[in-house]
């Protein structure tokens, strides 16, 4: 049996492990006892589980289209106007009368030469979207291959709070053992936790489950957030995945998230040393 050589003092390793634990604690899901959930989009990649509060008056801002508009089409069929943003494709993979496509991306800082703009820029260009924190706040989808961390850390909370629900893919989570990445992820997740409740999680099974500082961590996590002031929140009693979930890759089993911080009871966990 091969052993990894010790390259740092024990105290430094424990401190890094504690940092990973504390960052993961911000991904503890909660139940919404008075709400129902539904799947938006079909089986496989391109679908998300959301809280069943959708109303056609809510516009949708969908960043990151790629090869599928299943999520977007489902919402458009429900009557939502859907604004799709992706600067990496030549055309949408599907059309709908309620779609409006912008060949632009989102980032933490604007870079017009690369067709990247902040979320604030996009909202300023689209004042008709509304969503002032009232009953018809827009829906936000972020699947932007790692740019979500900068977007969340650089977007003012006052703007984020205009959205009622946010569905997001969180990428590169095994990098939490890196100090710089962990600091950025902590800031992003703490920002979300200050006004939103994480109410659904699902591991994208196109990626793997890695072990980082002793913790199993999915490479990519689908997360659903809802504004905390709109719902009643309870500790999670839910095992993920749920019957509403499907694997992103339908040829491979879905990943059970039966470990910290996703398993019921995780909210009470404390670092043991």
Alpha-carbon distance values, 232 to 34, 59, 264 (Å) = 7, 24, 17
What pLDDT score was predicted for residue 100?
Answer: 93
Using left for φ > 0, alpha for ψ between -120 and 50, and beta otherwise, residue 115 falls in left
Alpha-carbon span 81 to 76, nearest angstrom: 6
What is the model's pLDDT at position 143?
A: 95
pLDDT (0 to 100) of residue 265: 93
Under DSSP, is residue 31 helix (H, G, I), strand (E, B) or coil?
Answer: strand
Task: Spell out the per-residue pLDDT of the chain, length 273, in tens.
Answer: 566 676 789 999 899 999 999 999 999 999 999 999 999 999 998 899 999 999 998 999 999 998 899 999 999 999 999 999 999 999 999 999 999 999 999 999 999 999 999 999 998 765 464 444 445 689 999 999 999 999 999 999 999 999 999 999 999 999 999 999 999 999 999 999 999 999 999 999 999 999 999 999 999 999 999 999 999 999 999 999 999 999 999 999 999 999 999 999 998 889 877
Collapsing DSSP states into helix, strand and coil, what is residue 250?
A: coil
C-alpha span between 224 and 164 (Å, rounded): 11
Give whole-number Cα distances, 256 to 63, 70, 234, in Å: 27, 24, 21
Residue that the structure tokens 């890759």 belong to: 249
Query: How far is residue 86's CA from residue 96's CA, in Å, rounded to a whole number?
Result: 16
Q: Are 75 and 57 in contact (CB under 8 A)?
A: no
> Position of tokens 């850390």?
153
- Nearest Cα neighbor of 167 from 78, 253, 39, 73 is 39
Are 171 and 145 a contacting pair, CB within 8 Å?
yes
Q: How far apart are CA 202 and CA 246, in angstroms?
A: 9
Domains of the chain, CATH where assigned:
10-263 (3.40.50.150)
């Amino acid at each position: 049996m091969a052993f990894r050589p010790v390259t740092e003092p024990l105290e430094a390793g424990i401190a890094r492990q504690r940092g990973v634990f504390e960052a993961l604690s911000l991904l503890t899901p909660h139940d919404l006892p008075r709400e129902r959930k539904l799947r938006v989009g079909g089986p496989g990649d391109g679908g998300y589980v959301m809280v069943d509060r959708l109303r056609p008056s809510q516009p949708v801002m969908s960043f990151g289209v790629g090869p599928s508009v299943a999520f977007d089409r489902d919402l458009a069929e429900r009557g939502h106007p859907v604004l799709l943003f992706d600067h990496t494709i030549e055309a949408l993979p599907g059309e709908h009368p309620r779609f409006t496509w912008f060949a632009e991306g989102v980032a933490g800082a604007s870079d017009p030469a690369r067709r990247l703009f902040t979320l604030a820029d996009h909202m300023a260009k689209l004042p008709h979207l509304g969503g002032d924190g009232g009953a018809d706040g827009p829906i936000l989808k972020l699947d932007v291959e790692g740019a979500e961390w900068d977007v969340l850390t650089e977007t003012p909370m006052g703007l984020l709070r205009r959205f009622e629900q946010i569905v997001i893919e969180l990428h590169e989570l095994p990098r939490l053992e890196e100090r710089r990445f962990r600091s950025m992820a902590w800031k992003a997740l703490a920002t979300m936790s200050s006004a939103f409740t994480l109410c659904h999680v699902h591991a994208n099974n196109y990626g793997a489950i890695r072990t980082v500082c002793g913790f199993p961590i999915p490479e990519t996590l689908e997360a659903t957030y809802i504004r905390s002031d709109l719902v009643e929140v309870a500790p999670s009693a839910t095992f993920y995945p749920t019957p509403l979930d499907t694997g992103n890759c339908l040829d491979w089993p879905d990943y059970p998230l039966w470990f910290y911080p996703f398993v019921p009871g995780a909210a009470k966990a404390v670092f043991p040393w």
